[in-house]
Structure 1
């Protein structure tokens, strides 16, 4: 395979393998990701000029505001590009989060804590449950927002390598599960609240008395969590693992744990439990200081959710440090500083990549091309006058396509909700059902969209195992998850619709007469 991937070559005869090999080959012939983002910056600049030249615009159905294409190849555009370039980089949402998390992950990895944990888990856990458990953690982990696609892929890679599989299989599996199943969970979280914030006012355009609730999709998203766990497991074991083959890079030691390692692991795990209990004591009580002090909520705008990334960092940092001290991989302050420095040194290529990715995303936002294309797409679907299942599937496809252009779920729903919620209401569908359709479309293309800032990070993780790997290798292995999620999840939604089961409490399929 291209991109220098260290794989055991096998004859590929199936149509799926041939197709994915072509995707990988084409993808890996693309320039370095840094150059790709630079080219995209240029394309967006030219597109903004052409769109402005033809006076391309659209009316936001929610606010009535006319959204016009902005020419960035102009005096004002040049000033914006020059003056905001540093802010684009420094304010790039995942940058600080990734670097902070890597402090915790780095010390846990460099001291040997992660490797020892992986060995111990595989020694004591039933082998058949390890992969499903990782998938389940990734799906549930999306309740923590940005943390899951940052933290879980490198851990899953280490586990899969310890199981004898290629580490890339863990990377893509955890990434696809945490992002592709973004609207599936057993826990109601921030994404539910954000969706409702746009659904309710959109519904009130038709019915001023309409009120929704944060859990109105819960039945469906909980059932979807089980369904997508099975789908992810099937794709991983039947396609990803066989396709990637064996890994011939540096392996985790196969030796059994010694008495010193087991003792250090017990100390480290005990410190992890103590740290977790301290945080639970700050969250669980009704007057916990990490709850929202006004509403008492743990999930909605609480100090706990706002600091969850740093809390995760601490939960990695503490046991990693304790393990290092017990195993004497950290003997003094100099060793401690070196471990932290080494963990940051691995992020150099990612930081460079982020600079150009941040500029590209900023240019696209300034140009207004994303909202205009979204509104035009919604208008097109409305004019097609679809009903029933064709309408449902068309909306899933449109939302999935728009997700390739606009990464933020709330930004997309802010544009689409005022169009589709009233449209579906006029056809007799409840806003909760419309919201669920959008959330499926918004999730299924998450693993492959370049508009999410986690893809460059995934590439940085992959280069740890193969410095020459290209985006084509990652995308060819992520694409089956998106396709499988689209097919199975859409069919599941259609079945749910035909059975007329409410998608959640206070969330029927059809408007109550």
Structure 2
């Protein structure tokens, strides 16, 4: 471990300041509550000044509507339930979590992660750890808890530095959080918020959970390759040879447990079930006359893409039941809804947050403040001729900095989307493209923000191997991952745009 200097450098001082400022931010629920109050007061002030703007789509004059009126009060009271229950991300995410949550509760996802990492060839172990971390974000919080300490154990067993293994696992789960080869709850959540906002400027706009899929699936390979290089060529050489001098004896004497024979049998049966399910779904979309294709035999659009969430839900329920029945976690049919209910308990914080976020977004739209900011900003950027890829990159960098203060990706997008989706829409950018730009920035800096609730947990794991480890140690190890992922992602994003490749089925940058 590198010696820790008593005198903090500029970056450590900056991170300390970020931590102090971030800790002063209120809980996300209260943050949206305060923002809703600000919108109410701002609408009153702007309305009194007769602020208006010409809508570029229809040429109509758009005025600011004051919420400090009888009409405003009526809207606040009459729309409250509809704002919440009709908020697009709510149903999408809860339905997804029925399936993913069941797979997590029966133990399928944990067994898959352990089996993949513990049986990887020694030369490929770093690559596999990072890949498992990226794909393991399917399990959300569980991946943060399982993969970093497991990766440290594997590295130590192989005679490599355990902190390097832990860093690789944390980088895969944290910085690669938004990428996956599967459609996850993150896709459903962010696309739901994007759709909710986009339809405020064009009722026909919609962002599907698969609209970023092509780019994100390819990103998995980039993260695995780049993360492996950083771990083996930057982090491990810097850490040097591991010594047990400062390690907890109980920790270095631990060994990672292989899944039991019953769990492996369950994993096999889940895999067989997955192949059968994919084959059945494939039979409905691969043939030109497949029943889930579109009216003219198209895949974009199609019944399949329009209903991707229920299809994914049934996939996870099927594989989870196959695993649970084999391992005897599911012994009766009542166990299935019981475990689904437990998964929903984990979503209680999300549901409460969505209530506040939905009110804020609804007020923002009703008052026309969002339209005013978007049109004015778009016109200003056009006037200074700053509307190309440089603007998008600037948005990515801004998001990456803001992510240091607001860890919740959904909360941050709910704050940024009402401003930036309409603004970029008037500059002729597809909302799904702007959502993609947001995702790569939000994901990259997850592992260096003090606001990440799993940073203290990872630090506690690190201290088991080296009691001298502190926040400086953690951030100095994780910074190369964060910066490399961010700038590589930006480079690929730019190249993708230059080549005009679709970022998802039928989705290109422009409208």
Shared fold (TM-score, shorter chain, > 0.5): yes
State the secondary structure of the residue aligned to 1:416: coil
Change (3 A) 1:160 1:71: same
- Aligned partners of 2:213 and 2:27: how far apart in 1? 42
Change (3 A) 1:128 1:29: same
1:365-404 equivalence runs, <5 A: 365-385=365-385, 392-394=389-391, 396-397=393-394
Quote the offset at 1:386 in angstroms: 6.0
- The answer to whether the 8 Å contact 1:219/1:504 transfers is no
1:449-468 equivalence runs, <5 A: none
- Aligned partners of 2:479 and 2:426: how far apart in 1? 27
- Cross-structure match for 2:327: 327
- Aligned partners of 1:256 and 1:161: how far apart in 2? 14
- Cross-structure match for 1:255: 257
Quote the offset at 1:363 in angstroms: 1.0
Change (3 A) 1:304 1:488: same
State the secondary structure of the residue aligned to 2:59: coil
RMSD: 5.0
- The answer to whether the 8 Å contact 2:65/2:367 transfers is yes
2:425 to 391, 406, 414: 414
Quote the offset at 1:43 in angstroms: 0.9
2:108 to 113, 120, 125: 113
- Cross-structure match for 1:64: 59
- Aligned partners of 2:384 and 2:179: how far apart in 1? 33
- The answer to whether the 8 Å contact 1:440/1:489 transfers is no
Change (3 A) 1:96 1:414: same
Quote the offset at 1:48 in angstroms: 1.2
- Of 226-235 and 349-358, more deviation after overlay is shown by 226-235
1:63-462 equivalence runs, <5 A: 63-125=58-120, 126-133=124-131, 151=138, 153-154=140-141, 156-157=143-144, 158-164=146-152, 165=166, 169=171, 171-177=173-179, 254-297=256-299, 300-385=300-385, 392-394=389-391, 396-397=393-394, 405-407=416-418, 411-417=422-428
Change (3 A) 1:445 1:223: closer
Calculate the TM-score normalised by the size of structure 2: 0.64
Quote the offset at 1:88 in angstroms: 0.8
The yes-or-no answer on 1:26 pairing with 2:51 is no
* Offset from partner CA, 1:182-220 (integer Å, 9 cap, x none): xxxxxxxx99xx9xx99xxxxxxxxxxxxxxxxxx9999
State the secondary structure of the residue aligned to 1:58: strand
- Aligned partners of 1:260 and 1:317: how far apart in 2? 19
Point out where structure 2 has 5 or more consecutive residues left out of the alignment: 153-165, 181-190, 200-211, 240-246, 400-412, 446-450, 459-470, 503-511
Quote the offset at 1:396 in angstroms: 4.3
Calculate the TM-score normalised by the size of structure 1: 0.64
- Aligned partners of 2:57 and 2:229: how far apart in 1? 41
* Offset from partner CA, 1:315-359 (integer Å, 9 cap, x none): 221121122112111222343332122111221222111111111
Quote the offset at 1:362 in angstroms: 1.0
- Cross-structure match for 2:407: none
Quote the offset at 1:384 in angstroms: 2.7
Point out where structure 1 has 5 or more consecutive residues left out of the alignment: 1-9, 139-148, 179-189, 199-216, 422-433, 450-457, 467-472, 506-513
User: Larger RCO: Structure 1 or Structure 2 (Cα < 8 Å, ≥ 6 residues apart)?
Assistant: 1
Aligned residues: 407
- Aligned partners of 2:343 and 2:97: how far apart in 1? 7
State the secondary structure of the residue aligned to 2:298: coil
- The answer to whether the 8 Å contact 2:113/2:147 transfers is yes
